[in-house]
Structure 1
Amino acid sequence: MKQSNLGDRDIQLIIGNLLRYGVWTALTVATLGGIIYLFRHDREFVNYQTFVEHDDNIFDVIKHMLNGVFQGYGHSIILLGVMLLFLTPILRLIFSLVAFFIEKDYLYVGITLLVIGIICFSVFFGFAH
């Protein structure tokens, strides 16, 4: 049997496509949410003098966002698009981690794990104030 190995060029092509399609998907979802939001709230008056700050953790935000997406709320679909945009480079890091591990490039495996760890720490334990 012939064994197929991924070369550096193949990995770079996959990573490029991952970033490209991730950004396009996020843009499409956010645009769809914006259109839905505009059609449902086109005559609504917005008061920009008051700002309500919520101090929710990331799990509450995701739960409320998904509930809103399933109910068809435009602002939740826009937030889903933004979340997808944030997740795109995270997915790139995870794919890079797997690629470095397959290539047995353990220095870059360690560096990538450190970067993923820093991102996870800042998302889950970050302070708002």
Structure 2
Amino acid sequence: MEKNKKVTDYDMQQLIGQVLRFGVLTSGIVAIIGGIWYLFQSGSGVPDYRVFNGEPAGYTSLTGIIKGLKEGSAKEIIQLGVVILIATPILRIVFSLFSFILEKDKLYVVISSIVLLIILFSMFAGLKV
């Protein structure tokens, strides 16, 4: 007896929900670990609020964050948590797009593709390396 296992809309909704939960949970855990590590690295220092110092270039690019992670910098660990949090809804759009492709729903494939392209373009159009 052969079972034809077809992915249903409910299955895709459950998968997308799991992706969202996992992404938010992961980003929170990474940010908390970075925050605890930050307290160990520089928790005893008193900040000087009389002078404004902007963030270094390492926080404005993904390559800077990765470089900081290799050095064990707590600020970059926190930034990684933020990047994971930002990537979570983008993954949701990707999974929705695949769901609509499997359902052969052309209208929503087009809409999801446009939304994904707009998000990706807005992210990478002003990319700093």
User: Same fold by TM (over 0.5)?
Assistant: yes
Q: Deviations over 1:68-122 (max 9, x none)?
A: 1122110000000000000000011101111110110111000001001111111
How far, CA to CA, are the matches of 2:57 and 2:71 in structure 1? 23
Q: Match of 1:100?
A: 100
Q: Distance in 1 between matches of 2:57 and 2:110?
A: 33
CA distance in 1, matches of 2:59, 2:41: 28
| Structure 1 segment 49-64 matched on structure 2, within 5 A | 49-52=51-54, 61-64=61-64
Describe the shift of the 1:91–1:114 C-alpha distance in structure 2 as closer, same or farther (beyond 3 A).
same
Aligned to 1:15: 16
Q: Offset of 1:55 from its aligned partner?
A: 7.0
Q: Deviations over 1:31-59 (max 9, x none)?
A: 0000000111012232233132667896x
Distance 1:92 1:84 in 2: 12
Q: Greater CA deviation, 23-32 or 47-56?
A: 47-56
Gap change, CA 1:119 and 1:56, over 3 Å in 2:
farther
Structure-2 change in CA distance of 1:118 and 1:93 (3 Å): same
Structure 2: 5+ residue stretches without partners = none
- Partners in 1 of 2:31 and 2:84 — Cα distance? 9
Query: Which residue matches 1:36?
Result: 37
RMSD: 2.0
**Mean alpha-carbon deviation: is it higher for 16-25 or for 36-45?**
36-45
Gaps spanning 5+ residues in structure 1: where? none
Percent identity over the alignment is 42
TM-score between the two structures when normalised by the length of structure 1 = 0.88
The equivalent residue for 2:88 is: 88
8 Å contact from structure 2 (residues 58, 64) kept in 1: no
Q: Structure 2 vs 1, CA of residues 118 and 55 (structure 1 numbering), >3 Å: closer, same or farther?
A: farther
